[in-house]
């Protein structure tokens, strides 16, 4: 199923794509199939919290509508406003430098996945506007496969991880690489000595902080929908394209990720519990396109939108970009 | 008011401290004061979403109970389980290196606040157990002032920011400095040239990722409660202490923050919209104590708990530490 969070004629709902042009409201389908007493999920997070049973009920209801098309309203996809399929994920983990195309640029790197967090507040849906302010500096798109968790997971091995996935979506992990270059520290970190913890030593360390450059408002496009796990044969072999202003700037495949989807989930959940609705964005698919343009050319401050990301089997998201000619406000006192 | 999220006799509620030893259930107080038809907030996030009016109603109800003590049950603080006052903040922004005591250790640093995110899934409350695994490596406490947002804010200046604060709490921003040293990249970043965006250049960059070292389960202690803004005369002048195993390891004051509370909120909200219930943790108050011990000596792998953090006017949180003798699971496939 392709499960979307939409707004249609002023009301929010979850809906399922029933053909290339139409959706059906999940609540309407469930009531038609199971009767007016059926409990219906308030939103995608509530649906995912019901686990496989919840998704099976929706699937049955949609099958009923396919067999009884008069029982539900066909909603034209062209007339809805798209929210991110999960509107307020508990967390969004973004994997850093997970593409083998970036390996030759690494001077030193950990031998395991590394990740940052994006806030739910940065998310927008398909067709919503990406708003970039002049003072953000250079900002570029990063097309990524997003995994949406279906069951609470902790200490699950890679071999078992795929059973915890609700489905997949497309993420544009928009990145302020101008701010990234600013939010760097070189400093003397203090560590306790191993042999005598009462003594400390100073270690030169470079740290950087992703709060601004990965989390500013509209820096995460998720959607158009969540495609359930059963419809994706192999998440580790999906073609990815990204276009900006009609020009292709990335042609890649998730098979070039250094770490596979199941490995990423398993690694993260040895540290963090993953909950239903949490999102893991698997890293940028940025191999330059045949025209040799790459995401690094696509500074939104200079290159006009829209930006689109397509992943095989998961659909296309497309978003306009506006540049707000705005100065940063008075954030210092006195 | 001191507003807590608690569990008492098996049910979750929000409660207000009415004396040094007791709490009163907010719902019970509101029904006693306003009658059974009054709508009561389901949790702290719902209460904060009601803005100043919601807090004023709770305050009125608690005043009524003070005047009519027989109308509500006194809940002994010693008998409750403490949740984080806001159980699932939409986001938690943690400010990096905001203490003037760290300035001499900076070789280079930005001239504005930098921040990372902690996930809501890492939060625990007062008295809950901090669970550290052997494979996490060195882990230490970071005592911090936490600000809890009361109203949606975007583009609010520093001069206006304090009006958007619901209140304050104590945060122990537990940090895996062992993992911090591992999740570092030195690599050749690619930037478009300013004069010809069709050409790119390579720039050596050090990046680091805070997902693991700031966000692992139980790495954020928030509480015991939210103290409303009206009870805190000056958030930029509060004494902070941290003890581990009974020994003091930090004696500091929020007056030594490089950036004031209002400046931090104003800076962040020129990039991120802040929503009710969001938390901004203002940076570590880590000036070494008179005994010259510091947070850097307090590696939880070697130093026994409990760990406590006290902030003037905001109370004390104290948490036991357990070390789990556990190996990392099989996160690689095949």
**Polymer length of chain B:** 334
Q: What are the CA-CA distances from residue B137 to residues B140, B175, B324 (Å)?
A: 10, 11, 12
Going from the N-terminus, what domains does chain A have, and what CATH number goes with each? 2-82 (no CATH), 92-180+209-324 (3.90.850.10)
- Which of A134, A212, A216 would best serve as a mutation to test chain B binding (most B beta carbons within 10 A)? A212
Give A102's pLDDT tier (boundaries 50, 70, 90).
confident
pTM above 0.95, yes or no: yes
Q: What is the DSSP string of B81-140?
A: EEPPSSSS-S-EEEESS-BGGGGGGEEE--SS--EEEE-GGGEE-TTPPEEEEGGG---B
CB atoms B271 and A303 under 8 Å: no
- Joined together, the tokens standing for residue B125 give 């409350």
| ipTM confidence | 0.97
Task: Report pLDDT digits (tens) over B24-34.
Answer: 999 999 999 99
CB contact under 8 A, B158 and A332: yes
Contacts of B109 in chain A (CB under 8 A): 184-187
For residue B199, what pLDDT band results from cuts at 50, 70 and 90? confident
pLDDT for B82 equals 98
- The upper half-sphere exposure of residue B321, i.e. CA atoms within 13 Å in the direction of its Cβ, equals 26
Instruction: Count contacts between A and B (CB, < 8 Å).
Output: 277
Which letter, b or e, does each residue of B279-288 get, where b requires 16 or more Cβ atoms within 10 Å of its Cβ?
A: bbbbbbbbbb
pLDDT at B288: 75
**pLDDT score recorded for residue B197:** 77
Percent pLDDT > 90 in chain B is 92
Give tens-digit pLDDT for A153-207. Answer: 999 999 999 999 999 999 999 999 999 999 999 999 999 887 887 888 999 999 9
- Three-state DSSP state, A322: strand
Return the closest-CA partner of residue B225 out of B167, B163, B283.
B167
Residues of chain A in contact with residue B236, where contact means CB-CB under 8 angstroms, are: none
- Of the candidates A144, A139, A118, the residue with the CA atom closest to the CA atom of residue B115: A118
Alpha-carbon gap, residue A141 to A220, rounded angstroms: 9
Report d(CA A24, CA A75) in Å as an integer.
6
B56: Cβ–Cβ under 8 A, 6 or more apart, which residues?
Answer: none
- Decide if pLDDT at B123 tops 80: yes
How far does the CA of residue B268 sit from the closest CA of chain A (Å)?
Answer: 8
Give the integer Cα–Cα distance in Å for B287 and B304.
Answer: 21
Q: Which residues of A touch B197 (CB under 8 A)?
A: 297, 299, 302-303
Question: Does the beta-carbon distance from A192 to B299 stay under 8 Å?
Answer: yes
Question: What tens digit of pLDDT does each residue of B36-67 get?
Answer: 999 999 999 999 999 999 999 999 999 999 99
pLDDT > 80? residue A295: yes
Q: Cβ separation of B186 and A106 shorter than 8 Å?
A: yes
């Amino acid at each position: 199923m392709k499960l979307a969070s939409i707004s249609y004629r002023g009301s929010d709902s979850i809906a399922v794509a029933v053909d290339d042009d139409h959706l059906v409201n999940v609540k309407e389908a469930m009531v038609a199939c199971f009767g007016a007493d059926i409990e219906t999920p308030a939103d995608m997070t509530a649906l995912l919290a019901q686990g496989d049973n919840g998704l099976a009920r929706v699937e049955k209801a949609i099958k009923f509508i396919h067999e009884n098309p008069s029982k539900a309203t066909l909603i034209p996809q062209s007339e809805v406003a798209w929210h991110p399929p999960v509107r307020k994920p508990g967390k969004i983990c973004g994997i850093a430098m997970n593409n083998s195309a970036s390996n030759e640029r690494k001077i030193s790197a950990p031998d395991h996945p590394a990740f940052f967090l994006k806030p739910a507040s940065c998310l927008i849906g398909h067709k919503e506007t990406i708003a970039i302010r002049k003072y953000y500096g250079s900002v570029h798109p990063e097309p990524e496969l997003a995994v949406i968790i279906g069951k609470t997971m902790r200490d699950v091995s890679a071999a078992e991880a795929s059973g915890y996935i609700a489905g997949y979506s497309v993420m544009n992990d928009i990145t302020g690489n101008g701010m990234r270059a600013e939010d760097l520290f070189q400093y003397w970190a203090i560590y306790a000595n191993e042999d005598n913890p009462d003594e400390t030593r100073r270690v030169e360390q470079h740290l950087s902080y992703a709060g601004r450059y990965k989390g500013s408002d509209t820096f995460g496009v998720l959607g158009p929908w969540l495609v359930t796990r059963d419809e994706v044969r192999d998440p580790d072999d999906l073609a990815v394209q990204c276009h900006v202003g009609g020009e292709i700037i990335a042609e890649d495949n998730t098979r070039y990720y250094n770490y596979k989807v199941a490995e990423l989930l398993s690694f993260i959940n040895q540290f963090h519990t993953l909950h239903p609705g949490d999102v893991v964005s698997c890293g940028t698919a940025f191999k330059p396109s045949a025209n040799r343009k790459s995401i690094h050319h696509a500074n939104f401050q200079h290159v006009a939108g829209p930006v689109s990301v397509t992943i095989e089997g998961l659909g296309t998201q497309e978003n306009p970009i506006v540049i707000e000619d705005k100065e940063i406000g008075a954030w210092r006192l006195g």
